[in-house]
Structure 1
Amino acid sequence: MQNIKHVQNKDKKSFSRPVALAEALYILFFIGAISLKSIYFHITTKITRKPYFTSGNAIMAISTFGIAVIIAGLVLLVFNKRRKGALIFLNLFLSALLFADTLYYRYYSNPITIPVLYQMGLVSAVQDSITSLIKPKDIIYALDLPFLLMYIVFMRVYFRSAVLKLDIRKKLISSFAVILSGFVIFLACYLKVDRSSFIYDNVNPVKKLGILYFHTFDSKRFLVDHFFVNKVLNSKDRMRLDDFYASRVSESKEYEGIAQGKNLLIVQVEAFQEFVVGKSVNGKEITPNMNKLIQESFYFDNIYYQVAGGNTSDAEFLLNASLYPAKEGAVYFRYPTNSFHTLPKILKEQGYTSYVFHANNPNFWNRMLMYKSLGFDKFISYDDYTIDEFVGWGGWALSDASFFRQSLRKIDTSKPFYGFMITLSSHHPYTYFNENYKEFDAGEYEGTYLGRYLKAINYADKALGMLIDDLKEQGLYENTLIVIFGDHYAIPRDQSAELMKFMNVQYSDFQFRKLQKVPLIIHCPGMTEGVKRSVVGGEIDIMPTLGNLMGFDTSYAMGRDLLNTETGYALLRNGSVITEDYIYLSDLGEAYDINTGEVLDKTVYEDEVKKLQEEMYISDLILQKDAFETYRIQK
């Protein structure tokens, strides 16, 4: 009997060795696959740029490998008999997450954050945009699936799905050894990078330490913000707000009140960028109607969009509240019940009725709830329109022409009104205009991404021209302050080659950022000659500018009056800063001369950048603690 037992133990030991080897190989396979997919994410989104073999890229890759090792070690620690299944599930989950990160980054130039997951209900509405972002090479995220299946079959056939169960002591020793190894690898990278800009810029943590690190960083930040941060506005917070508002300089008031008592009509045009204004293709103007309107309006040609995770909704918020977007996700989802000092509320006190028009689902971007917080009296949405003409956004969007015509007739024009119109036709990915719009020839760009966009904006311009004509026919043109501006970018970074060719410039991060402007046109009743202002500004500055023209107070606005500011700046949500002299890119930690593109010495800009970035802290404080519910400016 003793001999038989000895033989059984020997067989068991000899059987366990190949099982252990097979499992070890799969763990290494898991670590390698997730690391490679993460690095692919960096390359395909152009976060990692050539030359690839630099110390910065090496640190990112090694950090990613270390985190993958830690993940594998945690699986070994938590699971015993089911650790193979857990690793397979985790592989599938992380692959799906990285794929989602890739699509999201290609559109928003940001990785997915936990607050963004609250907005996943938006996915079905932008399905065409998402589909257009998928590329054949993204198959890499599923390339290891056949090997996973082969592994499962192999283990089932040769080892009858045998599982090597470790005793507690061996399990703890092996798992902690793996975790410690991964942690040492990661820590060596973590201590080498500058993490000061991580609080402003979601791209910087990704670029420095990898996308896997970012999701860990984001999860920790989310937990701290939601469960460990005091939401009560304390005395220290009030002092910060007092100091900020006390530092606001009162500027001269040129043009003050010239549109007082007039109606206000604002059109936020989807993806309308400044680089198309005044440009022609094959001798034909891209935006002839806007070019004409500019000749009898204030035109600001140096305005940078400041949107973040809320995209179009962020532009709406920047204009109507003159506050910065949220750090993660969208204000419209995260703070829809906050108290705000807004354009609709200010005008309501002066007897105006406010309308917001958007021919989309009323719950998209949580607009139904948010518009109430912003103070709009009436929200006219998809169900309120006769859908009689489809143009743009996959062929299902109500045409801008019909949208303008119907919206104008829903306004009670017998008393002062504020109408805020948000267009749809020129929404990414512009595929509708490839075959269905023949009125504009994109020339050498015909059939390309940029060519489709030029057609879309030419159509948007045509519809805007029809709106101007309609206002004149209705007798409203001479009694209405008309504002037209773009909400955000049109050409994502991975399509930038065509844009650079169109603008006849060499690609660089500096040049790409310099082109991220939106047009701002403000037509005052009675204007017959145009006034061009090239002061640097952002969408946050529109409300104070209107306050000057219409004669109302905007003390709580964070923006400035663009008509009475000699030198300006634009602060972006990621901490980047554009001034009259330089562009500071927070993800690179460098500033470039606005004219030459030369890298500047830090002593030239560092103090100013830090001072301007303080505005972001104040805006975040207002949002996170709902400061305007109780705070009043000390006058």
Structure 2
Amino acid sequence: MTANSESATPATSDESAIAEQPTRLATRRTLWILSALVLFWAVEILILQQLTTFPEAAIPTGRVVKDAARRLLLNVAACTVIVCLLRGWALRASFVIGLIATNLLFVYASYFGSPLSWPVLSSQWREGLAVSDHGMSLINWNVFAIGLLALAIKIGLANAVRRGPLPRRTNLKWASIAATTYVALAVSLAVVHKPIRRIHMGTPEYIYGYVVAWTAEAISFDNETLLKEALAKAEAKSDVLTNIEQPLNLADKVAIIQVESLDFDAIESTVDGEPVMPFLQDLQQLSMRYSVKPFHNTGSSEADFSMLTTATPNGRVNPFQIYGFPYDQALPWLAKQQGYAPFAFHGNTGEFFHRRKAYDQMGFEKLYFTEELKPLEVAGEWDEELLDFSAELLAKASEPTLHFVITITSHGPFNKLKESERELYTKPSSPHEHYLNSMRYVDHALESYIDQLPEDTTVVIYGDHQSNIHGYGESETHRDHVPWLIYQKGNDLSKQQNSLASGLALSGNLSQLDMVCYLRDRLAETPLSDDRIAAMKSNPRTTLK
């Protein structure tokens, strides 16, 4: 009896070991697949970070490797947490969200030349939604296709995982370890090793990766901090052109036109030998003309901010959203001091980019946004109507007047034109065909506008930022630059442009700050006419100089 019992015991142990072997193999297989999924996802995110945040400034190779290694560790920890906690449809939904985020970040980085930051995301998402159709037109379909392939691989790996061999407690254990590791790495990096205020080369998104960077930015960049940075940047001024160009009398009627998405090369482009913008092509021969690098880190508002304040935008967030910035010395204020009545026109709402609140503080006599234009039956979204309205008021004005006009019809995705207005391509099928049609429309609108203006009116025309449409011209000598034209009706200003002969004007080395400082200096030094002296005497808010 005892012998039989003793002989049966080893057999039972062997059977138990054999029974457990498939479970161990399944567990090992699951761990390998989960590890592959985590590593694949972490590397995918690393590539996204590298391509959308890498700074233009040269960084030593050793530092690039170290920065990438730190981000990869953070990515592995974050992906481990997600993979351990989420199951089934929730995990696959996170993959899809990742695909959407990837394309959003690629579009933003390629359009603005900088990574999407938390200040922009949190404060300008409404403006982003308003132009989402343009964002869709900017999707890089090669990136999208690669993203779909990566999505398929991740879903395939997730489908191959059998959750049974791993108890819920084990998943929670590894998720806790990974989360603790992530927080420890993030704190050591963003608080101890490289605090956000000590980043001088690259961006927080490059140094930390997006999630840690956005968290650090949310904590660090309150309005007080942004205001301090904005005031420091606003101190920079330029006299580059003022010291070179001859004196320029702006006369009693001035129009400043900020044209949406006007590239420098668009003016010189042709389609089947026909100029895209024949009017501006001729006009620039009678104008002072420049190739200028615009401000475009957070949106179009940087262009009119710099024009109206003669300052460099802060570069982190829409400048008009920084509360407390002083506008009492803005261009409209100076215009009043010089005897002009300043007016602003834009075919969008005053709430867009928070322009109304800022413009109200600058000294404009009147603002014409959509809210003011609609009751007057002016469709401001169409440049021809907006410019005709400005021309009518400018021609009728009995006192010296300055108009600041922002156009909008040529905003991306450049598909707003009616069929009858598509001159160059009646059935456009590509972004550059839509863009060139829009530029032809703008050219007609500007020609009609200037035809209606009184003689001697000074007209400043400049692009707010580059279009991000490439490949439509024979050459792209001035890629990512916008034109600046200073024209005076009835006069040939090109004859007095010293910077053109020296090569500076078209060198591409001039910035928006160089231009706005020059224009402000010319406005301040324009001799007073009898009409402006009379206007200043009758306006108690101006000071006769």
TM-score band by shorter chain is: 0.7 to 0.9
8 Å Cα contact 2:428/2:434 also seen in 1: yes
Deviation at 1:321, TM superposition (A): 0.9
Deviation at 1:360, TM superposition (A): 1.4
1:402 to 376, 385, 396: 385
Instruction: Determine if the alignment matches structure 1 residue 300 to structure 2 residue 289.
Output: yes
* Equivalent residue number for residue 290 of structure 1: 280
1:128 to 133, 143, 160: 133
* Equivalent residue number for residue 97 of structure 1: 101
Instruction: Determine if the alignment matches structure 1 residue 322 to structure 2 residue 305.
Output: no
In 2, Cα distance between equivalents of 1:135 and 1:232:
37
* Equivalent residue number for residue 468 of structure 1: 450
In 1, Cα distance between equivalents of 2:463 and 2:267:
11
Deviation at 1:48, TM superposition (A): 11
CA shift in 2, pair 1:59/1:254, >3 Å = closer
* Equivalent residue number for residue 47 of structure 2: 39
* Equivalent residue number for residue 582 of structure 1: none
**Please, which moves more after superposition, 541-550 or 123-132?**
541-550
Structure 1 residues 284-433: aligned runs within 5 Å: 284-297=274-287, 299-310=288-299, 312-333=300-321, 335-340=322-327, 341-385=329-373, 398-410=381-393, 413-432=397-416
8 Å Cα contact 1:318/1:539 also seen in 2: yes
In 2, Cα distance between equivalents of 1:542 and 1:25:
59
Deviation at 1:368, TM superposition (A): 1.9
2:212 to 204, 216, 240: 216
Q: What is the letter of the counterpart of residue 469 of structure 1?
A: D
CA shift in 2, pair 1:337/1:435, >3 Å = same
Instruction: Determine if the alignment matches structure 1 residue 521 to structure 2 residue 485.
Output: yes
* Equivalent residue number for residue 549 of structure 1: 522
* Equivalent residue number for residue 73 of structure 2: 66
In 2, Cα distance between equivalents of 1:465 and 1:71:
57
CA shift in 2, pair 1:58/1:403, >3 Å = same
Q: What is the letter of the counterpart of residue 551 of structure 1?
A: A
Gaps of 5+ in 2: 1-8, 527-545
Instruction: Determine if the alignment matches structure 1 residue 225 to structure 2 residue 221.
Output: yes
Cα deviation digits, residues 477-498 of structure 1 (max 9, x gap): 33x3211111111234xxx4x2
Cα deviation digits, residues 321-342 of structure 1 (max 9, x gap): 1111223122122x14411321
Cα deviation digits, residues 391-421 of structure 1 (max 9, x gap): xxxxxx8322122112334567122222111
Gaps of 5+ in 1: 391-396, 506-510, 554-635
In 1, Cα distance between equivalents of 2:331 and 2:515:
10
Deviation at 1:256, TM superposition (A): 3.8
In 2, Cα distance between equivalents of 1:537 and 1:336:
29
Q: What is the letter of the counterpart of residue 468 of structure 2?
A: I
Cα deviation digits, residues 106-146 of structure 1 (max 9, x gap): 32222211011110101332132112123444154455666
Deviation at 1:348, TM superposition (A): 2.3
TM-score by length of 1: 0.63
8 Å Cα contact 1:353/1:418 also seen in 2: yes
CA shift in 2, pair 1:252/1:364, >3 Å = closer
CA shift in 2, pair 1:181/1:219, >3 Å = closer
8 Å Cα contact 1:265/1:420 also seen in 2: yes
Q: What is the letter of the counterpart of residue 120 of structure 2?
A: V
Structure 1 residues 187-226: aligned runs within 5 Å: 199=200, 202=203, 206=206, 213-226=209-222
In 1, Cα distance between equivalents of 2:109 and 2:169:
41
Q: What is the letter of the counterpart of residue 477 of structure 1?
A: E
8 Å Cα contact 2:269/2:474 also seen in 1: no
Deviation at 1:343, TM superposition (A): 0.2
CA shift in 2, pair 1:303/1:155, >3 Å = closer
1:258 to 249, 262, 272: 249
* Counterpart secondary structure, 2:466: coil
In 1, Cα distance between equivalents of 2:241 and 2:258:
28
Deviation at 1:426, TM superposition (A): 1.8
Deviation at 1:466, TM superposition (A): 0.2
CA shift in 2, pair 1:252/1:119, >3 Å = closer
In 1, Cα distance between equivalents of 2:172 and 2:302:
54
* Equivalent residue number for residue 275 of structure 1: 265
* Counterpart secondary structure, 2:404: strand
8 Å Cα contact 1:274/1:519 also seen in 2: yes
8 Å Cα contact 1:332/1:367 also seen in 2: yes
In 2, Cα distance between equivalents of 1:46 and 1:64:
12
8 Å Cα contact 1:253/1:548 also seen in 2: no
In 1, Cα distance between equivalents of 2:150 and 2:268:
50
In 2, Cα distance between equivalents of 1:104 and 1:543:
27
1:26 to 12, 26, 34: 34
2:511 to 514, 529, 538: 538
**Please, which moves more after superposition, 97-106 or 87-96?**
87-96
In 1, Cα distance between equivalents of 2:86 and 2:278:
64
In 2, Cα distance between equivalents of 1:254 and 1:309:
31
**Please, which moves more after superposition, 420-429 or 137-146?**
137-146
8 Å Cα contact 2:308/2:330 also seen in 1: yes
CA shift in 2, pair 1:38/1:361, >3 Å = farther
* Counterpart secondary structure, 2:200: coil
* Equivalent residue number for residue 455 of structure 1: 437
Deviation at 1:462, TM superposition (A): 1.1
8 Å Cα contact 2:346/2:368 also seen in 1: yes
Deviation at 1:58, TM superposition (A): 6.7
In 2, Cα distance between equivalents of 1:367 and 1:12:
70
Deviation at 1:550, TM superposition (A): 3.0
In 2, Cα distance between equivalents of 1:547 and 1:177:
55
8 Å Cα contact 2:257/2:462 also seen in 1: yes
Q: What is the letter of the counterpart of residue 220 of structure 2?
A: V
Q: What is the letter of the counterpart of residue 258 of structure 1?
A: N
Between structure 1 and structure 2, the one with the greater Rg is 2
Cα deviation digits, residues 263-282 of structure 1 (max 9, x gap): 22101111112223344443
In 1, Cα distance between equivalents of 2:175 and 2:247:
75
Alignment RMSD (CA, Å): 4.9
Deviation at 1:180, TM superposition (A): 11
In 2, Cα distance between equivalents of 1:432 and 1:228:
40
Deviation at 1:517, TM superposition (A): 2.2
* Equivalent residue number for residue 468 of structure 2: 491
Deviation at 1:543, TM superposition (A): 3.3
Cα deviation digits, residues 68-127 of structure 1 (max 9, x gap): 123246669xxx8x4658976765554443232022223222221101111010133213
* Equivalent residue number for residue 502 of structure 1: 474
In 2, Cα distance between equivalents of 1:175 and 1:432:
50
Identity across aligned pairs (percent)? 19
* Counterpart secondary structure, 1:302: strand
Deviation at 1:451, TM superposition (A): 3.4
* Equivalent residue number for residue 112 of structure 1: 116
8 Å Cα contact 1:268/1:487 also seen in 2: yes
* Equivalent residue number for residue 535 of structure 2: none
- Provide the aligned length of Structure 1 versus Structure 2: 489
In 2, Cα distance between equivalents of 1:447 and 1:15:
58
Deviation at 1:153, TM superposition (A): 7.2
